[in-house]
Structure 1
Amino acid sequence: MRVIHGSDEIPLEARGAVLALGNFDGVHRGHQVLIRQAIDAARRDGRPAGVLLFEPHPREFFNPDAPHFRLTPLEEKLAVLEELGVDLAIVLPFNAELAALDAERFIGDVLVNALGVKHVFVGYHFFFGRNRSGSTETLRAAGAAHGFDVTVVEPVSERGEPFSSTAVRLALAEGDVKHAAELLGRHWRISGPVVGGAKRGTGLGFPTANVAMPKGTALGHGIFAVRVTLDGRQLDGAAYLGTRPTFDNGMPVLEVFLFDFDEAIYGRTIEVSFIDKVRDDRKFSDADELVRQMQIDCEAARRILAQDAAAGSKA
């Protein structure tokens, strides 16, 4: 997949594409339906299949001090898009200049003049341009005037629940990572370098790899069965996210205990995929009671991971 940053110098072979427009945070199953429709249309017409993204998320631009829970950082989002079969990703920097463009200027300057777009796919709730003045109807009218097609994709749902980034965030806020995975079509994950901690886990017989949670992340606290990717290897483990109420009730920290693993990995980057929740966080009377519960938690996490692996092999 080719990634182009900005719209000032679009290569000739990228013009005339079929484009899906949006932020696509999470690239959840609803997004995937829209993007696959764009890919199918591009294949029928013999054109590149592309996605037009905005970076950073407009909410981060307009409210830089307010924490925004991004489900997928740009690098992960691009990786998922490539897996879907997208040929071209155009990443527009969401800055003061872009924010000041009204809907008509965005269509004329970006979609028509810079990209020569031939077909646009958007969700039913897509708004764009200064003060969100542009809508799907604005796009349809512009398409008729400038000679490009517009397809508006209606909400996609399962068992009456629409797929949405908001629904994924709500599931994660409750610690329901399994439901979040059902909405995303894959396990939710974070990545980051392993940082030093208080080493309480080592003293209790459960040495952990601590990972700083990305800014704005709102995951319900508890114990989780996780699968960790390190240098291309997949490792099973149990993770704790919480305030350590048994000890100090401090700032939330993510601590990952890897099963059957004894390498030093401080400073190395790991990716943590959350498979299912084992239990909620709670306070214990002393360290001995906590250790006994940790042993139970690890056995439960092993069973969950074994079941998940078995289900994956049958899919």
Structure 2
Amino acid sequence: MIPVFDEWQSVPAPWKGSAVALGNFDGVHRGHQALIERTVKQAQALDAPVIALTFEPHPRRFFVPDTGPFRLTLPPAKLRLLEEHGVRAVLAQHFDQAFAALSPDAFVDEVLLRGLAARHVVCGYDFTFGARRGGNVEKLRKRGRERGFGVTILDPVMREGEIYSSTRIREALRAGWASEAAELLGHAWEIEGVVEQGDRRGRTIGFPTANVALGEHLRPHFGVYAVRALIDGTWRAGVANLGKRPTVGKLQENFEVHLFDFAGDLYGKTLRVQLIDFIRAELKFANFDQLKAQIAADAQAARTILAG
């Protein structure tokens, strides 16, 4: 795993003088990937390291603490994706009241220059920074000229007239369009969480499931999905139900994954589960026989989808 720092004051000397990619990078979608690619090219031209500056918790969570789960990628997944696309270290700056209060000039002088000694920064056209979002890309470009660091502003990255954005991906997932979200992301969307103890009801009807913690992940459209899960380095096919299980009268949200032809013990392990395609919306059944028959049909539908 690449090195991660949580305060701009703690970045060690070998990572100073970097080319810096700026942003939240939630999802690390195709637009983010283009930004990172541009940063890598700048770093190569300067013979400099590549570092991403992002924020934890997400500023939206800081400013609106009672907002519901909305994250496309939690920190482990974000770090993995950033590394895959060429980032070599991450400053996951702790976002608190003190950091939120930094003026735009202080963000440049303290974080970018004193903390990172940035030689070049790359950001999107809509990047804002500093208290009350007082800094924009024009101010950043101006400060770069004054303080001697390069600034690249990336134009919107688009597909058929639509900008790649985390907001658009969230909308797709909330509608149940897992394959559309994957196209916008450039990779399948995943839920990554610890397998928790469930009520083991699935075992009684022949479909044992792993109950995966949802955490701060966005909640996609409730229902049944064809999925793949990573176990011991191998992606295994399966079917998953995301929802409140109205047939058994549960109220809490659950993400239950049934893996085909697998009988191992997963309790306590962290599972990565890719949502490949939506099969059906959540339903309430009159009895467990109906539920069992529907699960069997769902499993066959998932096998067909994943085989194609």
Q: TM-score range by the shorter chain?
A: over 0.9
The residue number in structure 2 matching 1:137 is: 138
Please say if 1:120 is aligned against 2:121: yes
The residue type equivalent to 1:288 in the other structure is: D
Output aligned runs, 1:56-205, within 5 Å: 56-205=57-206
Q: CA deviation at 1:88?
A: 2.4
Match of residue 19 from structure 1 = 20
Is the contact between residue 72 and residue 217 of structure 2 (CA under 8 Å) also seen in structure 1?
Answer: no
Matched, 1:232 2:237: no
Change in CA separation of 1:10 and 1:192 when aligned onto 2, cut-off 3 Å:
closer
Corresponding residue of 1:289: 290
The answer as to whether partners of 2:191 and 2:217 remain within 8 angstroms in 1 is: no
Residue by residue over 1:17-42, the C-alpha shift from the partner in whole angstroms, topping out at 9 and shown as x without a partner, is 11111111111000100110110111
SS at match of 1:90: strand
230-239 vs 104-113, which deviates more?
230-239
Q: Give the deviation of 1:249 after TM superposition.
A: 5.3
Matched-pair contact (CA < 8 Å) for 1:246–1:286: yes
Deviation of 1:221 after TM superposition, in Å, equals: 0.8
Q: What is the CA–CA distance in structure 1 between the aligned matches of 2:209 and 2:225, rounded to whole Å?
A: 14
Distance of 1:172 and 1:156 partners within structure 2: 20
Q: 1:260 to 1:230 in 2, by over 3 A?
A: same
Which stretch shows the higher mean deviation, 78-87 or 260-269?
260-269
Aligned counterparts, 1:33-72, within 5 A? 33-72=34-73
Aligned partner of 1:242 in structure 2 is 243
CA RMSD of aligned residues (A): 1.5
Write out per-residue CA displacement over residues 216-273 of structure 1, whole angstroms, 9 at most, x where no aligned residue: 6221011111111123332211001122223315222111111111223222221111
Question: 8 Å contact 2:31–2:157 — kept in the other structure?
Answer: yes
Task: State the secondary structure of the residue aligned to 1:182.
Answer: helix
Tell me by how many angstroms 1:196 deviates. Answer: 2.1
In 2, are the aligned partners of 1:39 and 1:49 still within 8 Å (CA)?
A: yes
Q: State the secondary structure of the residue aligned to 2:247.
A: coil
Preserved contact between residue 53 and residue 91 of structure 1 (Cα < 8 Å): yes
Query: Which consecutive residues of structure 1, in runs of 5 or more, have no partner in the other structure?
Result: 308-315
Which residue does the alignment assign to 1:222? 223
CA distance 1:10–1:269, change in 2 (3 Å): closer
Q: What amino acid is aligned across from residue 72 of structure 1 in structure 2? A: T
Task: Flag the 1:118–1:304 CA change in 2: closer, same or farther, 3 A.
Answer: same
Q: TM-score, normalised by structure 1?
A: 0.93
Structure 1: which amino acid aligns with 2:191?
I
Range moving further from structure 2, 78-87 or 247-256 = 247-256
1:252 aligns with 2:253: yes
C-alpha contact 1:59 1:68 (8 A) present in aligned 2: no
Q: Which moved more, 1:142-151 or 1:13-22?
A: 13-22
1:271-310 aligned within 5 A: 271-307=272-308
Cα distance in 2 between the residues matched to 1:210 and 1:5: 31
Distance 1:249 1:76 in 2: 29
Distance 1:65 1:246 in 2: 29
Contact 2:121-2:152 within 8 A present in 1 as well: yes
Gaps of 5+ in 2: none
Q: Which residue does the alignment assign to 1:262?
A: 263
Q: CA deviation at 1:297?
A: 1.0
Q: 2:188, 2:276 within 8 Å by CA — same for their partners in 1?
A: yes
Identity of aligned residues (%): 45
